[in-house]
Amino acid sequence: MSNLTIRASAFGGFFDCAYRFEGTYLLGMKNAAGVRTLLGSATHSGTAAFDAAHLRGEDITPDDAAGVFVDALRNPEYDVDVAGDDLSLKEAERIGLTLTAKYCTEIAPQFQYTAVEMTLTPLEIDCGGGVTITLTGTMDRARAAETDAGTIIPDVKTGSKVVSNGVANIKARSAQTGTYQLMYEHTMKEPTAGAQIIALGTSSKTPVAVSPVFDARRVLVGNEQTPGLIQLAADMFRAGTFPPNPSSVLCSKRYCARWSRCIYRED
Ligand code: SF4
């Protein structure tokens, strides 16, 4: 292990379960996605098409965005295990159409976006001992938006628990959104004012919510007394240490390609 290239969108997963991260990104383990994963990526496609068209100054309606969603749901670009999921494609389509409409009419008008699916300049992290990590890729589901306080990074999250009691859940979101904050700053050579979670709930009631702006970057860079996650990651990569986390919400057969061979899981 000397120079590792990692997609920025995968870096947050390293801090959730490093053992799963090693299996997926360093050892090449794969599993078919579930319908819930497909619902999330298809919803992203519809909402991103809506925002990107607005950015280009083109006309686009919520119905057009819904069409992009349905096309992505029905024609996935990766393997999907439909039979092994508790969510049917029909129900996923109903939920995704509702979420796409809510996003276009209720959430998107709240933001003044300046970038959607932005390509990021590679960011190299020197881990010491001749080991480097290079983060690459795009902001994936995150956007950049202008506010009176400066540029913020809103990140669209889908899932059955992303909204709790009407509030967007930001727990365990800082590693990923902080990575986007840092890489946006590296790419644009300008500071960010924080991050925000746009939560699209995929439960049957399809709740949506937007979190307050929060500083996710601080978790990555740390402070004078406490090392940030980047420093901790550098130490772990240099040592080749990838600890498991059986408490992860993604510790399941559906979301972890290492699940069947992992001795650390507890179910
Ligand atoms: S089964 Fe659980 S503990 Fe094991 S690698 Fe997967 S997420 Fe981590």
Q: Collapsing DSSP states into helix, strand and coil, what is residue 201?
A: strand
Bigger pLDDT: 249 or 107? Answer: 107
Rg of the chain over all Cα atoms, to the nearest angstrom: 19
Q: Residue 77 has which token pair?
A: 């670009």
**Which residues have any ligand 1 atom within 6 Å of their CB?**
17, 19-20, 244-246, 248, 250-251, 256, 258-259, 262, 264-265
Cα atoms in the Cβ-side hemisphere of radius 13 Å centred on 125? 26
What's the average model confidence in pLDDT over 162-183?
A: 93
Other residues' Cβ atoms within 10 Å of the Cβ of residue 36: 18
Alpha-carbon span 157 to 118, nearest angstrom: 17
For residue 4, how far is its CA from the centre of ligand 1 (angstroms)? 22
pLDDT of 59 reads: 93
Q: Residues 45-92: pLDDT tens digits?
A: 999 999 999 999 999 999 999 999 999 999 999 889 888 788 999 999
Q: What is the value of pTM for the model shown?
A: 0.92
- Ligand 1 atom closest to the Cα of residue 262 is 4
Query: How far is Cα of residue 105 from the mean position of the Cα atoms in its chain?
Result: 22
In 3-state terms the chain splits into helix, strand, coil percentages (rounded to 5) of 40, 20, 35
Q: Residues 88-101: pLDDT tens digits?
A: 999 999 999 999 99
